[in-house]
Amino acid sequence: MTPHPTPFLMPPEDFCDLKRAQAVVVPFAYEGGVSYGLGAAGAPQAVLAASRQVEYYDEVLDAEPYRVGLGTVAAPLIPDDPVQMLALLETLTDELLAQSKFPVVVGGDHSITSGFVQSVGRYCPEFGVIQLDAHADLRDRYEGSPHSHACVMARIREMTSHTLQIGIRSMAAEEARRVKRDNISLCTMRQWRLGQFDICRALAELPPKVFITLDVDVFDWSVVASTGTPEPGGFGWQEMLDLLMAIFETKQVVGVDVVELAHQPHDINSAYAVAKLIYKIIGFKFAGCLQKVSISSLSASADS
Ligand SMILES: [Mn+2]
């Protein structure tokens, strides 16, 4: 795999070597599956650029998560055809999962997720998928295509029935019927707000290994404003970090993707929030093996 010339976070050179990296960021700039706003193709580059402003140190974990090894692969040339695009992402994530690395794919639109999940299925005989999203994405087809971003959870449910959807506040009657018929585990934004959804039980019902797909439209616009199909009234920043921390504490998360940032040049906040979110996620994943910053290492860095 080729390393990215300007990797995520720009860690010191030893720490972004792909061979020793435990976490690997994959920029995947595809937007052939969108139905409304454009900008997803520019998102990975904007996130990499914004990541240079993110501090190495995490004040909650009291550690520098990049020290586990945080690499970034070069942005691949992505075919327009959705089937070929999915096959390419599957090959990329296959290679990382085969080396027991923790892949974090930065989209791109949500249609890319089924390529990643396909390879997760190859390495984990049983796994669940947690979708954090404003939309249920359960339509079988949208605008004639089974590969639209509006159908991604329908495709994923063909690979595993163990799914959990959180943050939902926009869906069609066709999708609601499907949720009822197939008894799909789904927490609407309102149920979340009112505390009417038993998240602990829903997590316990999933297999130990899970994949997380995070559509940034799950957030409130005060956190991420630039997204392809925006919906008002989403998750707050700290609220989402607390939910993610709870997931990482109870599940073995094998991979994550963060999709649907639709980068707009006038909005630097959204790309920064996504970059910081990705670094937080990597910190949660490796929280158990991170060394806390000690007084001696602080004085050592002050001397250098
Ligand atoms: Mn969405």
Of 171 and 39, more confident: 171
Q: For residue 210, what are the β-bridge partners?
A: 128, 253
Residue 279 lies in a domain: yes
260 CA from centroid of ligand 1 (Å): 7
Is pTM beyond 0.85? Reply is: yes
Q: pLDDT tens digits, residue range 28-38?
A: 999 987 777 77
pLDDT classification of 296: cutoffs 50, 70, 90 = confident
Distance CA 151, CA 29 (A): 19
Cβ-contact 133, 109 below 8 angstroms: no
Q: Provide the 3-class DSSP secondary structure of residue 144.
A: coil
Q: pLDDT tens digits, residue range 241-271?
A: 999 999 999 999 999 999 999 999 999 999 9
Q: What is the reported pLDDT for 300?
A: 52
Structure tokens at 243: 């939910």
Residue 304 lies in a domain: no
Structure tokens at 97: 């999962």
Structure tokens at 107: 């989209």
133 CA from centroid of ligand 1 (Å): 5
pLDDT at 15 over 80: yes
Mean predicted confidence (pLDDT) in 155-172: 98
Q: pLDDT tens digits, residue range 48-104?
A: 999 999 999 999 999 999 999 999 999 999 999 999 999 999 999 999 999 999 999
Distance CA 240, CA 233 (A): 13
302 CA from centroid of ligand 1 (Å): 44
226 CA from centroid of ligand 1 (Å): 12
* Ordered alpha helix ranges (H), 134-251: 152-156, 173-181, 189-194, 199-204, 237-250
Residue 6 lies in a domain: no
Distance CA 54, CA 236 (A): 19
Residues with CB under 5 A from ligand 1 (ion): 133-135, 215, 217
Q: What is the reported pLDDT for 76?
A: 96
Cβ-contact 199, 187 below 8 angstroms: yes
Residue 4 lies in a domain: no
263 CA from centroid of ligand 1 (Å): 15
Residue 298 lies in a domain: no
Count: domains in the chain: 1
- Those residues with Cβ within 8 angstroms of residue 22's Cβ, 6 or more apart along the chain or in another chain: 68, 69, 70, 101, 102, 286
Cβ-contact 112, 260 below 8 angstroms: no
Residue 175 lies in a domain: yes
Of 293 and 121, more confident: 121
Percent of the chain clearing pLDDT 70 (strictly above): 97
Cβ-contact 111, 152 below 8 angstroms: yes
61 CA from centroid of ligand 1 (Å): 29
pLDDT at 234 over 90: yes
209 CA from centroid of ligand 1 (Å): 23
Cβ-contact 25, 104 below 8 angstroms: yes
Backbone angles phi, psi at 55, to 5 degrees: -65, 145
What domain range includes position 144? 13-293
258 CA from centroid of ligand 1 (Å): 11
Of 298 and 205, more confident: 205
Quick one: which H or E segment has residue 295?
Answer: helix 295-303
pLDDT classification of 304: cutoffs 50, 70, 90 = very low
Q: What is the reported pLDDT for 295?
A: 80
Rounded to 10 degrees, what is the CA torsion of 123, 129, 135, 138? 80
Indicate which CATH number applies to the domain containing 20.
Answer: 3.40.800.10
Residue 302 lies in a domain: no
Can you say whether residue 66 is alpha, beta or left, with left for phi > 0 and alpha for psi between -120 and 50 degrees? alpha
134 CA from centroid of ligand 1 (Å): 5
9 CA from centroid of ligand 1 (Å): 26
Percent of the chain clearing pLDDT 90 (strictly above): 92
Mean predicted confidence (pLDDT) in 96-120: 97
Q: What is the reported pLDDT for 98?
A: 97
Residue 163 lies in a domain: yes
Instruction: Classify each residue of 202-226 as buried b or exposed e, where b means 16 or more C-beta atoms within 10 Å of its C-beta.
Output: bbeebeebbbbbbbbbbbbeebbbb
Q: What is the reported pLDDT for 298?
A: 57
pLDDT at 187 over 80: yes
Is 249 buried (19+), middle (13-18) or exposed (0-12) by CB count in 10 A? Answer: exposed
